[in-house]
Amino acid sequence: MTLADTVKSDLTTAMKAGERDRVGALRLILSELQKAAKEGSDDELAVLRRERKRRVESASAFRAGGRDELADQEESEARMIEGYLPAELSDAELQAIVAAAVAESGASSPKDMGAVMKAAMPKVAGRADGKRVSAIATQALRT
C-alpha cells in the first residue's frame, strides 16, 4: 500500500466523519502526491516534507502579518502531514550520524562542511531537516 493509498483511505474516513478542515488538507496532500507520481517522482516522503515545510513557512508569515487564525490552520495541516512522515531523529542520534560522517570524510575544519553534509544526508534519509544537520555539523567541525 502506497502513501497515496493511505491518504485516500484517511480522506474517505474524514469525509464520512464530516471533518471539513481535515478533508481539505488531505485533498491537497493527495493532489500533490498524485501530481508527483504523474511527473515520475517516486519519493512520496519528499513531497510530504516539502508540503510540511510550505505550511510551516506560511504559518510563520501569517503570524508575522497578524493573521493568527490562518497561522493556526497552517500549523494544524503541518502537524497532520507530520503524522505521515517517519519520526524525526533525536539530537543524540543526529550527532552520532554527523560524527560518523566527519570521521568518514576526514573533515577537520568548517571548510570541509560540504563533504560532511554529503556523507551525512543519505544516512539521515529525510528524518531530519538539512538545517539541523548543518547546525550540528558546524558545531562538530568547530570543536
The parent domain of residue 117 ranges over 91-142
Please say whether the beta carbons of 74 and 62 come within 8 A: yes
Total tally of structural domains belonging to the chain: 2
pLDDT, tens digit, 9 for 90 and up, residues 85-140: 888 888 899 999 999 998 988 888 888 888 899 999 988 877 888 888 999 999 98
Choose one of 82, 104, 120: the last residue of a domain.
82
Whether residue 71 sits in one domain with residue 28: yes
**CATH number, residue 76:** 1.10.1510.10
Q: Do 23 and 54 share a domain, yes or no?
A: yes
Question: Quick one: 75 and 46 in the same domain?
Answer: yes
Q: What are the pLDDT digits (tens) for 7-65?
A: 899 999 999 999 988 898 899 999 999 998 888 877 888 888 889 999 999 999 999 99
